[in-house]
Each structure stands twice: as C-alpha cells, then as structure tokens.
Amino acid sequence: METTARDDQRTAAERRRKELLEAADRVVLRDGPGASMNAIAAEAGITKPILYRHFGDKGGLYRALAARHTDALLAGLRAALDAPAPARRDRVEATLDTYLTAIEARPQVYRFLMHPAEEQQPAETGFDVGRHSAPLLRRLGEELAKVIAERVDLGPGGEEPARAWGHGIVGMMHAAGDWWLRERPFPREHLVRHLADLLWGRLATAGDLADGPAF
C-alpha cells in the first residue's frame, strides 16, 4: 500500500510538473526571452513560491524547458536521418531543414532558450542564458556525432572526425539559423541548400557502413 501511495504521489507530481511546463511554454510563446517567473506563475494559476518549489529558480525552469524542447528536436533530427532518401544529400538537407523549421515555427521559444532579454543583464536577473544554452548545443553536437559515426564509414579513428563534424555542423546550424531568423534575407529552403553546399566536401565521398541507412 505504501508503495502504491508513493507511486501515486510521484505520478501526480510528474503530471503537475508537466502542467507547469505547458504554462511556461505558453508564456514563452507570448513573451519570448522576457518571460518572467511572475507571468508563468500567473498563467499556471499559482504563486511564485510554489513555482520555485518545483524548479528552484529561473535557471531550473530554463533547464526543464530546454530538456523538453531539445528532446523533441532530437527526435525530429533522428527521424530525418532515418527516413528513406534517394541520396545522402537529400538526408543532409532534410536534417538541416528539420532544425531550421523548428526554430522558424517557434522563434520565441528559440530566443528564450538562446538569448537573454535585451533589456536585462545577468547581474540584474541572476540568470545567464549563455551559461545554460552551451550544454544544450553540446548535447546536440554529441548526438549528431553518434549518428555520423554509426552511418558513415570514416575508416580507422573515425570517431574523432565524427565528433568534430557533429559539433561543427550543430555550430554552423546554430550560427546560420540565428542570423537567418533575425534578418530573414531569403526563404528557409535557400538556407538549407546553401548550408548543404558548404558541407558537400569529404562527407560526399566517404563510403557508407554496411549496417543501417546511409547518412
């Protein structure tokens, strides 16, 4: 009975945490980087101390939201990499497009995760977005590196270039996507093509490994 009660409490806590994250998402979609703990608490119909009880501070809430959106993005990237494609370049373009489509569809969420509110400074808020966003990008880089190592025949010592490529591609997507999202100089499809052109060096000529779909 005690185990069942603890399980019920854990389930209720997880459900409540999910509800609070959904409320935070709604505020972030509206306010972007300026989303405040006060606004999120009001959206959830609770007081700020209760919100702190669940997440500790804005950094804790940020990490929870980052994990939520990174998990969704990684699932999309894996699906793009594993989907049937007539040529490797098509798979590369689908992967790039998945990332860029995600940030284009929810630009306020992207800005909340990657940029502090312009009118606020870390010293004023106690919250440095850059300090928290770096692990998010590293996680994306490591995951992409694993995919490259699993799908591309890089020969002996292939793990080294796979990791370099994974982090390099994520850095490229982040930097180019950040610039493109701010300026919108041309359609997303053009950026996908331009970035795929840039990648089309050794990656185009390396052979595929026998197991698994070609990258």
How does residue 140 score in pLDDT terms, banded at 50, 70 and 90?
Answer: confident
Beta-bridge partners for 208:
152
Integer Cα distance of 150 and 144 in angstroms = 10
Domains, the chain, ordered by start:
1-56 (1.10.10), 58-215 (1.10.357.10)
Beta-bridge partners for 152:
208
pTM of the model: 0.76
Q: Return left, alpha or beta for 187; rule: phi > 0 is left, psi -120 to 50 is alpha, else beta.
A: beta
- Which residues touch 158 (CB under 8 Å, ≥6 apart)? 149, 152
pLDDT in tens, 33-46: 888 889 999 999 99
pLDDT in tens, 4-54: 766 667 787 788 888 999 999 999 989 888 888 899 999 999 999 888 888
- Which residues touch 168 (CB under 8 Å, ≥6 apart)? none
DSSP 55: H
Integer Cα distance of 100 and 209 in angstroms = 28
DSSP 157: T
